[in-house]
């Protein structure tokens, strides 16, 4: 039989679980999107050569996470995917109908901005830079894909926690229901005992 203290503990658990729902938005990332993914024309020095580049930004992901996303996105689209220092590499990448390209993206993690800059160089299989418009389109598509992957991972993280909270809530509801039933039983027993005491008192008064 549950005591009133145990009942209070159950109700406290229910209250705390509800608090988890209210605190579910306290993550280390934003729940709103305020970023522009338009590439910016830039340049990148590779050895002694300066090549035209497109600057894209992957938000709320460090350089290691960006490399993981790079691999995931390009593994089915490129003949090879690798990393050399701060450079992300992809060989023979088929990203449009104009033929395969070679990609090099130099990463720079900015902790203050919580974002990784990627200076992307796109060249053809002969090593010549592709047209700026084409490079810009490919860079934009890549920026969208990488940032979308970041957001999808965040959604999955929140969904996982939400599922756990819902499970905890369901358990708390069941325990709360049991506690209410036990409280009703206790109230009934208490009333019976009070009636018994009253009857005993009446009998005592007759003596």
User: Considering the domain 40-155 in this protein, what is its CATH number?
Assistant: 3.30.310
What is the side-by-side strand order in the sheet with 80-84?
40-46, 49-59, 115-123, 101-110, 87-93, 80-84
CA distance 144 to 138: 10
Residue among 110, 92, 90 nearest 101 (CA): 92
Strand-pairing partners, residue 87, are 84, 106
List, for residues 23-60, the tens digit of each pLDDT value.
545 667 777 788 889 999 999 999 999 999 999 999 99
Q: 159-164: long-range contacts at Cβ-Cβ below 8 A with a sequence spacing of 24 or more?
A: 161/24, 162/24
Pairing status of strand 87-93 against strand 49-59: unpaired
Per-residue pLDDT of the chain (207 residues; tens, 9 = 90+): 444 444 455 445 445 544 554 454 566 777 778 888 999 999 999 999 999 999 999 999 999 999 999 999 999 999 999 999 999 999 999 999 999 999 999 999 999 999 999 999 999 999 999 999 999 999 999 999 999 999 988 888 777 777 777 777 777 777 767 776 777 777 776 777 777 677 666 666 665
End-to-end CA distance of the chain: give it in Å, rounded.
36
Domain boundaries, the chain: 4-27+159-206, 40-155
The C-alpha atoms of residue 55 and residue 83 are separated, in whole angstroms, by 18
Return the DSSP state at 128: P
CB 109 within 8 A of CB 63: yes
Pairing of strands 115-123, 101-110: antiparallel
């Amino acid at each position: 039989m549950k005591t009133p203290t145990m009942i209070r503990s159950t109700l406290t658990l229910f209250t705390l679980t509800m608090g988890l729902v209210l605190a579910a938005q306290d993550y280390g990332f934003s729940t709103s999107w305020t970023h522009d993914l338009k590439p910016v024309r830039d340049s990148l020095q590779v050895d002694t050569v300066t090549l035209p580049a497109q600057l894209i930004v992957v938000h709320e992901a460090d350089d290691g996470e960006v490399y993981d996303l790079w691999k995931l996105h390009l593994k089915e689209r490129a003949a090879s995917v690798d990393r050399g220092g701060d450079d992300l590499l992809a060989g023979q990448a088929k990203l449009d109908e104009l033929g395969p390209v070679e990609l090099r993206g130099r990463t720079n993690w900015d902790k203050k901005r919580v974002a990784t800059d990627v200076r992307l160089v796109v060249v053809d299989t002969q090593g010549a830079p592709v047209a700026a418009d084409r490079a810009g389109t490919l860079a934009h598509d890549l920026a969208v894909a990488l940032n979308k992957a970041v957001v999808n991972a965040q959604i999955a993280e929140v969904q996982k926690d939400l599922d756990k909270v819902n499970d905890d809530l369901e358990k708390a509801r069941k325990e709360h229901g049991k506690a209410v039933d036990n409280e009703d039983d206790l109230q009934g027993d208490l009333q019976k005992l009070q009636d018994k005491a009253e009857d005993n008192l009446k009998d005592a008064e007759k003596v």
